[in-house]
């Protein structure tokens, strides 16, 4: 798994099972089922790199 993490983005379906193996600096994205055709995304930044990335996304999407 270490090699995969260094290669770029990686999506893990059940990340709570792997939490001790994940790098401290990461972008955590939670996908929640709201309705049949509606999902809610929650973004949690861990580390400066992902704080900055999430702020950029926020500015583009929300304009704040």
Q: What is the pLDDT tens value at each position of the chain, 64 positions in all?
A: 566 666 777 788 888 888 888 888 888 888 899 999 999 999 999 999 999 999 999 999 888 6
57: Cβ contacts below 8 Å, ≥ 6 apart:
43
* Phi, psi for residue 4 in degrees, rounded to 5: -65, -40
pTM value is 0.67
Distances (CA, A) of 52 to 25, 42, 60: 12, 16, 13
**What's the total number of domains in the chain?**
1
User: What pLDDT, on a 0 to 100 scale, did the predictor assign at position 3?
Assistant: 67
Encoded tokens for 25 = 């600096």
Range of the domain at 7: 2-61
């Amino acid at each position: 798994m270490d090699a995969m993490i260094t290669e770029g983005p990686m999506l893990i379906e059940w990340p709570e099972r792997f939490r001790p193996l994940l790098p401290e600096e990461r972008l955590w994205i939670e996908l929640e089922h709201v309705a049949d055709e509606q999902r809610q995304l929650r973004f949690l930044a861990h580390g400066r790199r992902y704080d900055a990335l999430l702020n950029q996304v926020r500015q583009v999407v929300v304009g704040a």
